[in-house]
């Protein structure tokens, strides 16, 4: 385990005052496992998950900006948890995997050429001498609305998406792990997203522009 997993970086800006304050307010006392668990739940439920925020603006991947956002998708939330963990002295990385979501909404599925979500993000945390995966994407309110079992995290075992929802339907399937990184590999991520999801990026950007105009 290198010291790079504790450093502040361009995207995982663990030294930012907002990140330090969030970590200090939520980690509590106790060992690293206890702190990591508290940070996981605090981050998971502070920021609502919303795939409509999906985009490639670099600033939305900076952890301190994520804390100010009312909603985000999986990548910014995983980055924010990594930053909070580092601020609390816990080595952390951002990890990525290709997954298949069997419960994708029809509207979102229509914007994709296949059912594979590329570069789905989680946070890797170094606890009790080993790396464990935590996925803070789906907040509790969203899970309750859609009948999805919320992901629990005990700081000792990997916490990745359940294979089934509350009704027993297939939910999330991990197809391939890509890797874990000391900072957000923005260029590689953006290139893959532009190649895989040009229609989705265009439509969501247009929708956000319309919403912004309507609010004025």
Per-residue model confidence (pLDDT) at position 115: 75
pTM of the model: 0.92
> pLDDT tens for residues 71-110?
999 999 999 999 999 999 999 999 999 998 745 566 766 7
pLDDT digits (tens, 9 = 90+) for 141-151: 988 887 778 88
Pick the CATH number of 3-215 from 3.30.70, 3.40.630, 3.40.50, 3.10.620: 3.10.620
**Contact by Cβ (8 Å): 174, 99:** yes
| Residue 122 to residue 205: CA distance in whole angstroms | 24
Phi, psi angles (nearest 5°) of residue 178? -90, -50
What is the model's pLDDT at position 148?
A: 78
CA atoms within 13 A on the CB side of 209: 7
**Residue % of the chain over a pLDDT of 70:** 90
Q: Which residue has the higher pLDDT, 167 or 29?
A: 29
Domain coordinates in residue numbering, the chain: 3-215
Run of H or E residues at 119: strand 116-127
CB neighbour list of residue 95: distance below 8 Å, 6 or more residues apart: 78, 121, 122, 123, 124, 133, 177, 178, 179, 180, 181
Q: Which of 18-22, 144-148, 201-205 has the highest mean pLDDT?
A: 18-22
Instruction: Report the relative pairing of strands 71-72 and 48-49 from DSSP bridges.
Output: parallel
């Amino acid at each position: 385990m290198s010291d790079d997993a504790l450093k502040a970086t361009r995207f995982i800006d663990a030294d930012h005052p907002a990140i330090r304050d969030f970590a200090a307010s939520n980690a509590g006392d106790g060992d690293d496992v206890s702190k990591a668990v508290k940070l996981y739940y605090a981050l998971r439920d502070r920021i609502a998950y919303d795939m409509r925020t999906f985009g490639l603006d670099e600033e939305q991947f900076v952890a301190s900006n994520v804390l100010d956002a009312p909603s985000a998708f999986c990548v910014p939330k995983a980055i924010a948890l990594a930053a909070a963990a580092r601020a609390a002295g816990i080595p952390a990385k951002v990890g990525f995997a290709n997954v298949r979501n069997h419960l994708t909404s029809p509207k979102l599925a229509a914007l994709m050429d296949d059912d594979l979500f590329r570069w789905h993000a989680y946070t890797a945390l170094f606890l009790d001498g080993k790396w464990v995966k935590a996925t803070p994407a789906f907040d509790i309110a969203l899970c309750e609305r859609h009948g999805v079992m919320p992901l629990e995290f005990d700081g000792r075992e990997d916490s990745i998406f359940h294979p089934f929802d509350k009704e027993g339907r297939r939910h999330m399937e991990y197809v391939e792990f890509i890797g874990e990184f000391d900072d957000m590999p923005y260029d590689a991520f953006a290139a893959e997203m532009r190649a895989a999801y040009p229609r989705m990026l265009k439509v969501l950007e247009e929708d956000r522009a319309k919403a912004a105009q309507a609010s004025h």
